[in-house]
Structure 1
């Protein structure tokens, strides 16, 4: 079923009005316009409200949160809204990507439940970091992402039309409502980082396959910068949420033990690495991750 399906775009934004404006212009220039554009404004303090007031996208809906819900909370709210309004497909994206004009047409032509547009940078280089291998079985894998589209293929023209992937980013991920029926909504408790990974793992474990679509082009406006200060507030969420993924979905006891081992190693090495703030973060992250071990229910309320 592809011919008459409806689709809503869900965008989450916070204090990046200029990027958001560029992205909304890109959505308005699509060959196949979405049936709705649902923007969750996470209590932005810049001129985001003015950008949204001036936007002319057909079907634009703005949900302004009283508080910053984080990306995870924003996508939870946006997907819940799109699902409640009955759309057949939901296309998730951040405010720092711009789709090529044919991107949505290409995705909608694919009769698959879970799809991912493939990202490139503004120079046209492939930068799709979705995992082709996400290993939650091998306790010796320091990081579970052991392969990704970018490193497996190097350039878009070396990709086949479809590449099966094992995790996604909420920058171009599309799913049918059947996926939400089966696994529920994105988990808002992540706040930032790994909410998209969690959703992909849940989808795959429910029997869905996820495909990166070579010819669905999404242009990322910013360089990737994942080298966050592990002693800062983002470091806490990176540790906590990585631990949660292992505790929830680790396929054996040794993999589920890895967060404890990482915590011990960071704490033991902190005096020589000068990482006392990181040690405090990782201890707090391990404590809080234990309270998030339960997999979210399938509720869409």
Structure 2
């Protein structure tokens, strides 16, 4: 478990914006990407690198990225455009992006989707926490300008988010988390080196939760009170009072269940697996997705994707050749 010594940064570990690489993953959403890249021209201080990973988009993403190269590089930020040959999902995109940032020598790697914009003082806000922590999650505004609630803690043995973890902050300005979100998570190079790259096998869903959980096992990870991003895409959701239930898709439903197989393997590898509690978490996940389907989306014909995902999760969990992502070297 992390100790107080895991927080401290001294000497060469002090925060330098130029040592930061922003990693953006995009797929066929050039209009959203345009908004994000425009916001990156306005932030102060500037990051050293912006890495855009394109999951084989078929729209004008390449042209959009290149149209911002001169503006970013003239201000001292290098732009690295990595176009993948196939769509590897968000998981594959972030794995490739973090790998690229690590190879560039970045000390801090800041990951985000393409459907956000960065607030101008975001790096300044994050910098005040870097002397103490090596994994930092800032807050986001939702599309309508309201604070976006993110489930920053998981019920560890069940491997599911805790939906009613307190949203407020005390005088410290931070809360410990044992999860992660690839929409604004800032990770120090030392942590990436120890836990390896994000696992591309997830394709979508659970990948950032696992990555944050792995990080929290070796250092104190925190979500902080500072707002750093604003969502630029509206998502249909059902208001349940204290929390919202967002609409999903058949692909998400499949991977939500299928990737429980990868989750089970990670838990086994880290000696955190409880058969009864993990099965309870899988059951609750299945029921939540059924509710999302029938109540938020008012249909039932997507349920077959949940069953198909469960079937494939079972096969993944039985794979004796499965191994977690390996640590990195310099």
Q: TM-score, normalised by structure 1?
A: 0.84
CA deviations 1:37-86 (Å, max 9, x no partner) are: 01001111111111112112231110111111111111111111111111
Q: Provide the C-alpha distance between the structure 2 equivalents of 1:72 and 1:99, rounded to a whole number of angstroms.
A: 21
Q: CA deviation at 1:98?
A: 0.8
Distance 1:100 1:201, change over 3 A: same
The answer on 1:153 being equivalent to 2:174 is: no
Q: CA deviation at 1:286?
A: 2.6
Q: CA deviation at 1:283?
A: 1.6
The answer on 1:199 being equivalent to 2:216 is: no
Residue in structure 1 matched with residue 96 of structure 2 by the alignment: 77
Secondary structure at 1:93 match in 2: strand
Distance 1:161 1:265, change over 3 A: closer
Q: CA deviation at 1:136?
A: 2.4
Q: CA deviation at 1:24?
A: 0.6
Contact (CA 8 Å) 1:41, 1:65: kept in 2 or not? Answer: yes
Distance 1:126 1:10, change over 3 A: same
CA deviations 1:223-248 (Å, max 9, x no partner) are: 3454324xx33321111113432442
Secondary structure at 1:12 match in 2: strand
Distance 1:218 1:160, change over 3 A: farther
Contact (CA 8 Å) 1:42, 1:74: kept in 2 or not? Answer: yes
Distance 1:204 1:260, change over 3 A: closer
The answer on 1:65 being equivalent to 2:76 is: no
Residue in structure 1 matched with residue 138 of structure 2 by the alignment: 117
1:168 to 180, 187, 191: 180
The answer on 1:213 being equivalent to 2:224 is: yes
Residue in structure 1 matched with residue 7 of structure 2 by the alignment: none
Q: Provide the C-alpha distance between the structure 1 equivalents of 2:305 and 2:208, rounded to a whole number of angstroms.
A: 27
Secondary structure at 1:193 match in 2: coil
Q: CA deviation at 1:258?
A: 4.2
1:14 to 2, 10, 27: 27
Residue in structure 2 matched with residue 241 of structure 1 by the alignment: 259
Secondary structure at 1:71 match in 2: helix
Q: Provide the C-alpha distance between the structure 1 equivalents of 2:65 and 2:136, rounded to a whole number of angstroms.
A: 27
Distance 1:22 1:93, change over 3 A: same
Q: Provide the C-alpha distance between the structure 1 equivalents of 2:72 and 2:286, rounded to a whole number of angstroms.
A: 51
Unaligned runs of 5+ in 1: 267-272
Q: CA deviation at 1:189?
A: 0.7
Secondary structure at 1:119 match in 2: strand
Residue in structure 2 matched with residue 222 of structure 1 by the alignment: 233
Q: Provide the C-alpha distance between the structure 2 equivalents of 1:286 and 1:228, rounded to a whole number of angstroms.
A: 23
Deviates more, 1:251-260 or 1:115-124: 251-260
Contact (CA 8 Å) 1:263, 1:286: kept in 2 or not? Answer: no
Contact (CA 8 Å) 2:180, 2:213: kept in 1 or not? Answer: no
For the aligned residues, what is the CA RMSD?
2.8
Q: Provide the C-alpha distance between the structure 2 equivalents of 1:262 and 1:214, rounded to a whole number of angstroms.
A: 30
Distance 1:265 1:247, change over 3 A: farther
Contact (CA 8 Å) 1:160, 1:214: kept in 2 or not? Answer: no
Contact (CA 8 Å) 1:92, 1:174: kept in 2 or not? Answer: yes
Residue correspondences, number: 283
Contact (CA 8 Å) 2:51, 2:81: kept in 1 or not? Answer: yes
Q: CA deviation at 1:265?
A: 9.1
Residue in structure 2 matched with residue 288 of structure 1 by the alignment: 316
Q: CA deviation at 1:120?
A: 1.1
Residue in structure 1 matched with residue 46 of structure 2 by the alignment: 33
